[in-house]
Amino acid sequence: MELTGKIIAVLPERGGVSKAGNEWKIQEFVLETQEQYPRKMMFNVFGADRLAQFNIQLGEVLTVSFDIDSREYNGRWYNDIRAWKVDRNVAPAAPAAAPAGAPVPPPMADPFSAAAPQMNASNEADDLPF
């Protein structure tokens, strides 16, 4: 799955040593989509090598590819959203411009403005049958 948005929070890095004696590191980030009704998603990056490779900074606009997994602990279920790819080649969406030389339609007149032509019942030159 993928989601594009701006990084609004960088939580502290955590680490430790596994039962097998291997060191581990994990860091969590909060991404906010840039839609009319923004949504927030907290995801994590696991492993010192990926943390260094992704180098996620506060305020960046990113596309994050992630996997979702759930696990049960003491009768409660927890979701885990883990990023496996981060893409920085995201440009803010801009409205498409008309190609050069293309005709531009005239602006529509506001029917409620003072400059709009007035309809009047006393206008006898109307050819309309209604």
Q: Is the dihedral of CA 98, 101, 103, 104 positive or negative?
A: positive
Domain ranges, ordered by start, for the chain: 2-87
The pLDDT value given to residue 95: 47
pTM tops 0.75, yes or no:
no
Q: Two tokens at 88? A: 């920085």
Q: Which amino acid is at 123?
A: N
Burial bucket for residue 43 (CB in 10 Å: 0-12, 13-18, 19+):
buried
| Residue-by-residue pLDDT tens, the chain, 130 positions | 999 999 999 999 999 999 999 999 999 999 999 999 999 999 999 999 999 999 999 999 999 999 999 999 999 999 999 999 999 976 555 444 555 555 655 555 555 555 555 555 555 566 766 5
Helix (H) or strand (E) holding 64: strand 61-73
> Which sign does the torsion angle of CA 56, 58, 62, 64 carry?
positive
Q: How is domain 2-87 classified at the architecture level of CATH?
A: Beta Barrel (2.40)
Identify the residue whose tokens are 């097998």. Answer: 20
